[in-house]
A and B are shown apart, each in its own frame.
Chain A
């Protein structure tokens, strides 16, 4: 139970950062290299590697080196069901709020 709780704490800590959530969202569409991941966020490779490390520690991401390239993909499939549920919830929450902003913009000027 303690181990499980620690796992959840790491999950929450890993998800508390928008860049790391962006990385998860991107990897949900397929594996990517470190530089491919860094590009949309406009941060250094070193900075991105730190984020990947946090995600790896939480078992949310895994990476492997092929030649000189490090490939990242979503973490182990045996990831606790609850952990996957929390990750899914977190990503869904962000998308909801994005879409709410778009709706409000679209309907600007209309009555409340």
Chain B
């Protein structure tokens, strides 16, 4: 393991969320830029052993991204959609590995100005297949039966009242 030049705090919040905090010795604009500049992405995004190329990167709300990585384990790709782009404070996007489609991680990065240095907090929320179905509204039946269950609970509760 390489020694960290900055301190990292990691907490697991909630059941399926990974949170990391890291301080970079660079101004906030530069750190944010690294996340949204297609020329900088290949220089840091992905594993060290892989070579990353940007296939698609439309940094605006609703815009799509797709990065291809090539390395010892072969070629694969990651994709997602930008959900919030607020330079230089916040970036929210979905993340999906094409090797396991349907398992969506919602990644939020916030950038805090510490006067020349920048604290980056990343939150990665993993969605189960059921939640994914709800998100893409393709799981109408699940959603409906849940609604009915809730309705039943509500009715049962109001009966007791």
Contacts and interface: CB of A to CB of B under 8 A. Distances in A.
Contacts of A90: 18
Interface stretch (B42-50, B53-61, B136-144, B153-161): B42-50
Nearest to A16: B12
Interface string A8-34: 110011011110001001100000000
A77 B11 CA distance: 27
Given A12-B16, A18-B10, A82-B100, A112 B48 contact: no
Nearest to B3: A40
Contacts of B26: 104-105, 108
B102 to A, nearest CB: 10
A109 B63 CA distance: 31
A11 B106 CA distance: 18
A26 B34 contact: no
A22 B44 contact: no
B93 interface: no
A13 B34 CA distance: 30
Size class of the contact patch on chain B: 35 or more
B2 A98 contact: yes
Nearest to B100: A85
B33 A97 contact: no
B33 A112 contact: yes
A86 B126 contact: yes
| Residue of A8, A81, A94, A108 with most partner-chain B CB within 10 A | A94
16 contacts: A5-B15, A9-B15, A12-B18, A16-B12, A22-B1, A25-B1, A81-B100, A85-B103, A93-B20, A95-B47, A98-B4, A101-B4, A103-B34, A103-B44, A104-B25, A108-B25
